[in-house]
Structure 1
């Protein structure tokens, strides 16, 4: 599912279901310490998604290493690697690439259902909410508000490693193309310089399958980093 949204230089691994807890035994001591006091559900998610990450890294020829979360939970990838992890009920996934071949990768997965009450107003701009209403008229079977949230999460997962600064939900405006399965995010604050050019936005792809919404953003180097908006 996630692999179909990203280019060939990105290696991915995904797992459906909520796991049986066996992956917890495969954690490095540093990782196990992070979730030692967490509830079982959190421990399983943490372990499963790292098993996915190590599987994806193996496809790059990178040996297993501890993947300890840093600030805001962003994983600390091995030197020379960029990547992203995601998990939600019934799904875990990871995507990684060589830093020489990608400036950033961001993925996110969400259940295909409404956001909790009041959340949409926090994570969206007025123009985005109008856009969502128009999308719902065309394809009411997709929960567009949740997809918007997921797209912004994928954007933020690319943004943060490049800037070491959090990006507020109000600082990126997302437009979703229902027919093409793509989305674009226009940055409303000054972006970092990538490949010698100021980053003004990002583009991504999305999929809705098996009761899940999945989004992915790939940022290349140089001319690949240009985003038509």
Structure 2
């Protein structure tokens, strides 16, 4: 499912169930040593998906450790992202020569809990969501916006090394399956690439889930829209 949102050259692996009793991969045991069972299972399955995706790029299996903000640390020359929610786990990776950044997210396709929408929307977004709801009432646009901002952050952080709050990006969502996040803070990158002013992504709703993805082209002054699947 997630691969439909990603550009050519990206490898995605997803799972809709866990393998009963699957242990953590060697070198990752401490990361879930105190986790509850559900958290442990989603971690193990999602990391397995990531290793399977890396294998398709030619990388041998290895532990995937977290960075300072719990982001996965990928092999040199690779960009990637991991997501998991109830009933779904996925990972996507690509060679850094083709993509500078990548972010994916999945959420249950249901309304956000009470009070959450106000904490994740930037100025102008409540009115935008209201218009989307009026025209397309079957989509939970608040959850979609939340997921899109999660994908935006996952693409943003490895390129900048800085936090990006929900209020720091203003989304415009196209009902046809795309979105644009206008960054409202300094977008200077640590890799010397062009500043990040806008991130383009794609979304879909299927199987009771909303999934989103952001891909950043390598060697470009603009964030590229992912190619059609």
What TM-score do you get using the length of structure 1 for normalisation?
A: 0.93
**1:141 deviation in Å?**
0.9
Residues 65 and 78 of structure 1 are in contact (CA less than 8 Å); yes or no, is this contact kept in structure 2? no
Residue 221 to residue 66, structure 1, CA distance change in 2 (3 Å): same
The corresponding residue for 1:199 is 196
Partners in 2 of 1:146 and 1:226 — Cα distance? Answer: 23
The corresponding residue for 1:190 is 186
Q: 2:69 aligns with which of 54, 68, 72?
A: 72
Structure 1: segments with no counterpart, 5+ residues: none
Q: Select between 192-201 and 92-101 the one with higher mean Cα deviation.
A: 192-201
Cα distance per residue 1:152-193 (max 9 Å; x no partner): 000000111111111011110011000x20000000011124
Partners in 1 of 2:22 and 2:76 — Cα distance? Answer: 24
Number of residues paired by the alignment?
224
The corresponding residue for 1:6 is 6
Residues 194 and 221 of structure 2 are in contact (CA less than 8 Å); yes or no, is this contact kept in structure 1? no
Partners in 2 of 1:93 and 1:81 — Cα distance? Answer: 16
Residue 105 to residue 196, structure 1, CA distance change in 2 (3 Å): closer
Residue 21 to residue 166, structure 1, CA distance change in 2 (3 Å): farther
User: Counting helix residues as a fraction of each chain, which structure ranks higher?
Assistant: 1
Partners in 2 of 1:3 and 1:103 — Cα distance? Answer: 18
Residues 101 and 220 of structure 1 are in contact (CA less than 8 Å); yes or no, is this contact kept in structure 2? yes
Matches within 5 A, 1:81-100: 81-100=78-97
The corresponding residue for 2:23 is 24
Structure 2: segments with no counterpart, 5+ residues: none
- Cα RMSD after superposing both structures: 1.6
Partners in 1 of 2:93 and 2:194 — Cα distance? Answer: 23
The corresponding residue for 1:153 is 150
- For the residue of structure 1 that corresponds to 2:220, the secondary structure is helix
The corresponding residue for 1:162 is 159
Partners in 2 of 1:223 and 1:165 — Cα distance? Answer: 21
Q: Does 1:118 align with 2:115?
A: yes
**1:99 deviation in Å?**
1.1
**1:76 deviation in Å?**
0.8
Partners in 2 of 1:206 and 1:200 — Cα distance? Answer: 20
Cα distance per residue 1:179-218 (max 9 Å; x no partner): x200000000111247742221100000100100000000
Residue 7 to residue 227, structure 1, CA distance change in 2 (3 Å): closer
Bigger relative CO (Cα 8 Å, ≥ 6 apart): 2
Partners in 1 of 2:193 and 2:82 — Cα distance? Answer: 27
Partners in 2 of 1:196 and 1:214 — Cα distance? Answer: 27
- For the residue of structure 1 that corresponds to 2:180, the secondary structure is strand
